[in-house]
Structure 1
Amino acid sequence: MDALKGTNVPAVFSDAVRIQLPDCALLFISGMVGTDENGTVVGRTMREQTRQVLEKIKAILAREGGTMDDIVRVRVYVTQLDQQSLREIHEVRSGYFSEGMYPASTLVRVDQLIRDGALIEIDADAVIAAG
Protein backbone atom coordinates (compact mmCIF):
# COMPACT_ATOMS: atom_id res chain seq x y z
CA MET A 1 0.00 0.00 0.00
CA ASP A 2 1.29 3.45 -0.93
CA ALA A 3 -0.12 6.51 0.83
CA LEU A 4 0.02 9.52 -1.48
CA LYS A 5 0.08 13.18 -0.44
CA GLY A 6 -0.18 15.96 -3.00
CA THR A 7 -1.21 19.12 -1.17
CA ASN A 8 0.54 21.54 1.18
CA VAL A 9 -2.33 21.40 3.65
CA PRO A 10 -1.28 19.70 6.89
CA ALA A 11 -3.53 16.74 7.64
CA VAL A 12 -3.50 13.30 9.19
CA PHE A 13 -4.81 11.51 6.10
CA SER A 14 -3.58 10.65 2.62
CA ASP A 15 -4.93 12.32 -0.51
CA ALA A 16 -5.05 8.83 -1.99
CA VAL A 17 -4.02 5.27 -1.26
CA ARG A 18 -2.73 3.00 -4.02
CA ILE A 19 -2.82 -0.76 -3.79
CA GLN A 20 -0.82 -2.43 -6.54
CA LEU A 21 -2.12 -5.78 -7.79
CA PRO A 22 -0.56 -7.93 -10.55
CA ASP A 23 -2.90 -6.70 -13.32
CA CYS A 24 -4.03 -3.32 -12.03
CA ALA A 25 -3.80 -0.75 -9.28
CA LEU A 26 -6.65 0.18 -6.98
CA LEU A 27 -6.67 3.90 -6.17
CA PHE A 28 -8.80 5.25 -3.33
CA ILE A 29 -9.00 9.05 -3.47
CA SER A 30 -10.00 10.89 -0.30
CA GLY A 31 -12.81 13.42 -0.29
CA MET A 32 -11.74 16.53 -2.19
CA VAL A 33 -13.29 19.96 -1.79
CA GLY A 34 -12.90 22.90 -4.15
CA THR A 35 -9.72 24.35 -2.67
CA ASP A 36 -6.37 25.40 -4.07
CA GLU A 37 -3.03 23.94 -2.96
CA ASN A 38 -3.08 26.11 0.18
CA GLY A 39 -6.56 25.07 1.29
CA THR A 40 -8.42 28.21 0.17
CA VAL A 41 -11.88 27.59 -1.33
CA VAL A 42 -11.92 28.37 -5.06
CA GLY A 43 -15.18 29.59 -6.58
CA ARG A 44 -18.51 30.55 -5.10
CA THR A 45 -20.86 28.51 -7.26
CA MET A 46 -21.54 24.80 -7.37
CA ARG A 47 -20.31 24.79 -10.97
CA GLU A 48 -16.96 26.42 -10.12
CA GLN A 49 -16.33 24.24 -7.08
CA THR A 50 -17.32 21.03 -8.88
CA ARG A 51 -14.83 21.85 -11.64
CA GLN A 52 -12.09 22.53 -9.07
CA VAL A 53 -12.78 19.24 -7.25
CA LEU A 54 -12.74 17.22 -10.48
CA GLU A 55 -9.51 18.91 -11.60
CA LYS A 56 -7.89 17.84 -8.32
CA ILE A 57 -9.11 14.27 -8.76
CA LYS A 58 -7.96 14.28 -12.40
CA ALA A 59 -4.48 15.45 -11.33
CA ILE A 60 -4.17 12.68 -8.73
CA LEU A 61 -5.20 10.10 -11.33
CA ALA A 62 -2.71 11.48 -13.86
CA ARG A 63 0.15 11.28 -11.33
CA GLU A 64 -0.74 7.62 -10.84
CA GLY A 65 -1.04 6.80 -14.55
CA GLY A 66 -4.83 6.89 -14.70
CA THR A 67 -7.63 8.90 -16.26
CA MET A 68 -11.10 9.92 -15.19
CA ASP A 69 -12.47 6.93 -17.10
CA ASP A 70 -10.67 4.65 -14.62
CA ILE A 71 -12.99 5.83 -11.84
CA VAL A 72 -15.49 3.13 -10.91
CA ARG A 73 -17.29 4.84 -8.01
CA VAL A 74 -17.76 8.33 -6.58
CA ARG A 75 -19.44 9.61 -3.47
CA VAL A 76 -20.63 13.20 -3.67
CA TYR A 77 -21.51 15.31 -0.64
CA VAL A 78 -23.25 18.65 -1.15
CA THR A 79 -24.54 21.38 1.15
CA GLN A 80 -27.18 22.46 -1.39
CA LEU A 81 -29.54 20.01 -3.02
CA ASP A 82 -31.74 21.93 -5.41
CA GLN A 83 -32.40 21.55 -9.14
CA GLN A 84 -29.95 24.31 -10.12
CA SER A 85 -27.12 22.75 -8.09
CA LEU A 86 -27.82 19.29 -9.48
CA ARG A 87 -27.87 20.65 -13.03
CA GLU A 88 -24.52 22.41 -12.51
CA ILE A 89 -22.92 19.29 -11.00
CA HIS A 90 -24.12 17.05 -13.84
CA GLU A 91 -23.13 19.52 -16.56
CA VAL A 92 -19.59 19.77 -15.20
CA ARG A 93 -19.27 16.02 -14.51
CA SER A 94 -20.36 15.13 -18.03
CA GLY A 95 -17.30 16.96 -19.37
CA TYR A 96 -14.89 14.81 -17.38
CA PHE A 97 -16.05 11.31 -18.32
CA SER A 98 -16.33 9.66 -21.73
CA GLU A 99 -19.86 8.92 -22.90
CA GLY A 100 -21.00 5.66 -21.34
CA MET A 101 -18.06 5.55 -18.90
CA TYR A 102 -19.87 7.13 -15.96
CA PRO A 103 -18.95 5.67 -12.55
CA ALA A 104 -21.36 4.34 -9.96
CA SER A 105 -22.37 7.33 -7.86
CA THR A 106 -23.91 8.24 -4.53
CA LEU A 107 -25.05 11.79 -3.73
CA VAL A 108 -25.78 12.90 -0.16
CA ARG A 109 -26.81 16.28 1.24
CA VAL A 110 -24.91 17.30 4.37
CA ASP A 111 -25.14 20.30 6.68
CA GLN A 112 -21.51 21.34 6.39
CA LEU A 113 -18.19 20.37 4.83
CA ILE A 114 -14.66 20.69 6.23
CA ARG A 115 -13.99 24.19 4.81
CA ASP A 116 -16.24 27.20 5.31
CA GLY A 117 -17.76 28.08 1.95
CA ALA A 118 -17.26 24.60 0.48
CA LEU A 119 -20.38 23.42 -1.36
CA ILE A 120 -19.27 20.01 -2.64
CA GLU A 121 -16.90 17.18 -1.71
CA ILE A 122 -16.19 14.16 -3.89
CA ASP A 123 -14.23 11.00 -3.14
CA ALA A 124 -13.44 8.41 -5.78
CA ASP A 125 -12.28 4.84 -6.29
CA ALA A 126 -10.44 3.90 -9.47
CA VAL A 127 -9.05 0.77 -11.10
CA ILE A 128 -5.99 1.53 -13.24
CA ALA A 129 -4.90 -1.19 -15.67
CA ALA A 130 -1.25 -2.26 -15.51
CA GLY A 131 1.05 -1.22 -18.31
Structure 2
Amino acid sequence: MADNRRLISNGNPMETIVGFSRAVRVGQFIAVGGTAPVDKNGNTVGVGDVFVQTKQCFEIIKSALEEAGSGLRDVVRTRVILTDIDNWQRAIEARKAYCLDARPVDTIMAISRFVNPEWLVEIEVDAVVAEPI
Protein backbone atom coordinates (compact mmCIF):
# COMPACT_ATOMS: atom_id res chain seq x y z
CA MET A 1 0.00 0.00 0.00
CA ALA A 2 2.88 2.43 0.71
CA ASP A 3 3.80 2.47 -3.00
CA ASN A 4 0.24 3.55 -3.76
CA ARG A 5 0.18 6.48 -1.29
CA ARG A 6 0.82 10.01 -2.57
CA LEU A 7 1.13 13.03 -0.28
CA ILE A 8 0.08 16.41 -1.66
CA SER A 9 1.60 19.54 -0.13
CA ASN A 10 0.75 23.19 -0.56
CA GLY A 11 4.03 24.30 1.03
CA ASN A 12 2.73 24.99 4.53
CA PRO A 13 5.78 24.65 6.84
CA MET A 14 3.53 23.18 9.55
CA GLU A 15 3.04 20.07 7.39
CA THR A 16 6.45 18.67 8.36
CA ILE A 17 6.38 20.09 11.90
CA VAL A 18 2.97 18.67 12.82
CA GLY A 19 2.88 15.76 10.38
CA PHE A 20 -0.01 16.39 7.98
CA SER A 21 -0.61 16.84 4.27
CA ARG A 22 -3.00 19.10 2.36
CA ALA A 23 -4.26 15.96 0.64
CA VAL A 24 -3.48 12.27 0.49
CA ARG A 25 -4.22 10.02 -2.47
CA VAL A 26 -4.37 6.27 -2.00
CA GLY A 27 -5.38 4.49 -5.17
CA GLN A 28 -8.53 6.14 -6.44
CA PHE A 29 -9.37 7.83 -3.11
CA ILE A 30 -8.27 11.39 -2.26
CA ALA A 31 -8.85 13.07 1.10
CA VAL A 32 -8.35 16.82 1.37
CA GLY A 33 -8.02 18.00 4.97
CA GLY A 34 -9.50 21.05 6.64
CA THR A 35 -8.72 23.86 4.23
CA ALA A 36 -8.58 27.39 5.59
CA PRO A 37 -9.15 30.62 3.63
CA VAL A 38 -5.53 31.72 3.30
CA ASP A 39 -3.30 33.00 0.53
CA LYS A 40 0.14 31.63 -0.41
CA ASN A 41 1.70 33.69 2.40
CA GLY A 42 -0.65 32.32 5.05
CA ASN A 43 -2.70 35.52 5.32
CA THR A 44 -6.47 35.24 5.73
CA VAL A 45 -8.43 36.07 2.58
CA GLY A 46 -11.81 37.81 2.85
CA VAL A 47 -11.73 38.73 6.53
CA GLY A 48 -15.35 39.00 7.69
CA ASP A 49 -16.82 37.59 4.42
CA VAL A 50 -17.77 33.91 4.52
CA PHE A 51 -18.60 33.87 0.79
CA VAL A 52 -15.09 35.03 -0.20
CA GLN A 53 -13.49 32.71 2.36
CA THR A 54 -15.44 29.70 1.08
CA LYS A 55 -14.34 30.45 -2.49
CA GLN A 56 -10.70 30.67 -1.35
CA CYS A 57 -10.97 27.31 0.39
CA PHE A 58 -12.33 25.72 -2.78
CA GLU A 59 -9.59 27.27 -4.93
CA ILE A 60 -6.99 25.64 -2.65
CA ILE A 61 -8.90 22.35 -2.75
CA LYS A 62 -9.17 22.50 -6.54
CA SER A 63 -5.38 22.94 -6.81
CA ALA A 64 -4.71 20.05 -4.43
CA LEU A 65 -7.05 17.75 -6.36
CA GLU A 66 -5.42 18.69 -9.65
CA GLU A 67 -1.98 18.01 -8.21
CA ALA A 68 -3.29 14.60 -7.17
CA GLY A 69 -4.39 13.89 -10.75
CA SER A 70 -8.06 14.59 -10.13
CA GLY A 71 -10.44 17.51 -10.07
CA LEU A 72 -13.66 18.86 -8.65
CA ARG A 73 -15.61 16.44 -10.87
CA ASP A 74 -14.40 13.59 -8.61
CA VAL A 75 -15.56 15.10 -5.29
CA VAL A 76 -18.01 12.78 -3.51
CA ARG A 77 -18.26 14.50 -0.09
CA THR A 78 -17.85 18.01 1.24
CA ARG A 79 -17.79 19.18 4.84
CA VAL A 80 -18.43 22.87 5.40
CA ILE A 81 -17.33 23.82 8.91
CA LEU A 82 -18.44 27.25 10.12
CA THR A 83 -17.96 29.31 13.27
CA ASP A 84 -21.49 30.73 12.87
CA ILE A 85 -24.20 28.40 11.54
CA ASP A 86 -26.17 31.46 10.42
CA ASN A 87 -23.57 31.85 7.65
CA TRP A 88 -24.54 28.55 6.03
CA GLN A 89 -26.48 30.03 3.12
CA ARG A 90 -23.66 32.34 1.98
CA ALA A 91 -21.14 29.51 2.32
CA ILE A 92 -23.32 27.12 0.33
CA GLU A 93 -23.90 29.77 -2.33
CA ALA A 94 -20.10 29.92 -2.83
CA ARG A 95 -19.79 26.10 -2.64
CA LYS A 96 -22.37 25.69 -5.39
CA ALA A 97 -20.08 27.14 -8.07
CA TYR A 98 -17.52 24.42 -7.36
CA CYS A 99 -19.82 21.46 -6.74
CA LEU A 100 -22.87 21.86 -8.96
CA ASP A 101 -21.67 19.41 -11.61
CA ALA A 102 -20.37 16.71 -9.22
CA ARG A 103 -23.26 17.14 -6.74
CA PRO A 104 -21.41 15.49 -3.81
CA VAL A 105 -23.02 14.71 -0.49
CA ASP A 106 -22.55 17.50 2.02
CA THR A 107 -22.34 18.10 5.73
CA ILE A 108 -22.66 21.58 7.22
CA MET A 109 -21.65 22.06 10.83
CA ALA A 110 -20.61 24.78 13.26
CA ILE A 111 -17.85 24.83 15.82
CA SER A 112 -16.92 27.40 18.43
CA ARG A 113 -13.73 28.63 16.72
CA PHE A 114 -10.71 27.86 14.54
CA VAL A 115 -7.03 28.28 15.35
CA ASN A 116 -7.13 31.65 13.59
CA PRO A 117 -10.09 33.79 14.76
CA GLU A 118 -10.28 35.49 11.32
CA TRP A 119 -11.39 32.23 9.72
CA LEU A 120 -15.15 31.86 9.38
CA VAL A 121 -15.01 28.58 7.46
CA GLU A 122 -12.89 25.54 6.71
CA ILE A 123 -13.72 22.96 4.06
CA GLU A 124 -12.85 19.27 3.79
CA VAL A 125 -13.52 17.09 0.76
CA ASP A 126 -13.21 13.46 -0.25
CA ALA A 127 -12.85 12.50 -3.89
CA VAL A 128 -12.82 9.23 -5.79
CA VAL A 129 -11.21 9.14 -9.20
CA ALA A 130 -13.73 7.29 -11.31
CA GLU A 131 -12.72 4.28 -13.34
CA PRO A 132 -13.57 4.47 -17.02
CA ILE A 133 -17.14 3.34 -17.63
Specify the TM-score bucket, using the shorter chain as the normaliser: 0.7 to 0.9
Matches within 5 A, 1:6-21: 6-11=10-15, 12=18, 13-20=20-27
- Equivalent position amino acid for 1:93 in 2: R
Name the % identity. Answer: 32
> What's 1:79 paired with?
83
Which of 63, 88, 91 lines up with 1:89 in the alignment?
Answer: 91
Q: Unmatched 5+ residue regions in structure 1?
A: none
User: Aligned in 2, Cα 1:66/1:91: closer, same or farther, shift over 3 Å?
Assistant: same
Which of 68, 72, 81 lines up with 1:68 in the alignment?
Answer: 72
User: Alpha-carbon deviation of 1:114?
Assistant: 2.1
User: Alpha-carbon deviation of 1:128?
Assistant: 1.2
CA distance in 2, matches of 1:68, 1:118: 23
Instruction: State the TM-score, normalized to the length of structure 1.
Output: 0.86
Question: May I ask how many residue pairs the two structures share in their alignment?
Answer: 124
> Hey, which of these two has a bigger chunk of strand by percent?
1
> What's 1:27 paired with?
30
* Structure 1 runs, 4 residues or longer, greater than 6 Å off: none
> What's 2:129 paired with?
128
> What's 1:5 paired with?
9
> Hey, which of these two has a bigger chunk of helix by percent?
2
User: Alpha-carbon deviation of 1:130?
Assistant: 5.3
Q: Unmatched 5+ residue regions in structure 2?
A: none
> What's 1:50 paired with?
54
Name the SS of the counterpart of 1:96 in structure 2. helix
CA distance in 1, matches of 2:92, 2:113: 21
CA displacement 1:32-70 (0-9 Å, x = unmatched): 010112221111200010000010001111112212121
User: Is the 8 Å Cα contact of residues 50 and 120 (structure 1) preserved in structure 2?
Assistant: yes
Let me know the Cα RMSD of the aligned residues: 1.6
User: Alpha-carbon deviation of 1:93?
Assistant: 1.2
